[in-house]
Amino acid sequence: MASSSEVPGASPGVDVGLVAHLQQPTNMVCWATAATMLMSARDRSSYSIKTAMGKADRVDPTDGYVAMFETNKGLPPARTGPFTRACGLRVGPAASFSVQGFARLMRANGALGIVGLSPFLHIRVITKMTGDGTVFGTRMMVLDPGTSKPYEEVFLTFTERYEAAAGINARMDQIWHK
């Protein structure tokens, strides 16, 4: 369970601006969908998932990201590093973050793709934090590729899912950003 020494009144107040929400067309391609959201936001463009995966294939054709996307293949955790590099994305440090820690990460890097366990490995994009700075009173705006529209999630629930995924594969990059 997440804990925090944050105090009420220390609002994280982070909003990275407009990031277009995309819904994954099949059940195993959250990785491609989230990366497309991040790439589109970074480039101030509007890519289709297939176009974004084509860009990644041109940089690193090893895994065939368009083919993986079109055949509904999940991204193996150990391949997140090569994939994010092919997309021109960076990865964040593996760490357990406080409310203010996530707020600092978002202020420095914009929208974040965060891999969590819910109940399977799944990446969602975080674009906004609001609330009172506590784990119970802070909310994250989630652009979930598995849903048709964004939603808010309490920080405590969000971090529990993030931290639960950490034990799945030590070679998996859990935080993606521009």
Task: Look up residue 66 and give its two tokens.
Answer: 């368009």
pLDDT in tens, 16-36: 999 999 999 999 999 999 999
In this predicted structure, what is the pLDDT of residue 7? 53
Q: Where are the alpha helices (DSSP H) in the chain?
A: 30-43, 49-59, 65-70, 80-86, 99-109, 155-165
Nearest to 82 by CA among 136, 132, 35, 26: 35
pLDDT in tens, 107-136: 999 999 999 998 899 999 999 999 999 999
What is the amino acid identity at position 134? Answer: T
Please say whether the beta carbons of 115 and 174 come within 8 A. yes
For residue 5, what pLDDT band results from cuts at 50, 70 and 90? very low
* Domain annotation for the chain: domains and CATH numbers: 14-177 (3.90.70)
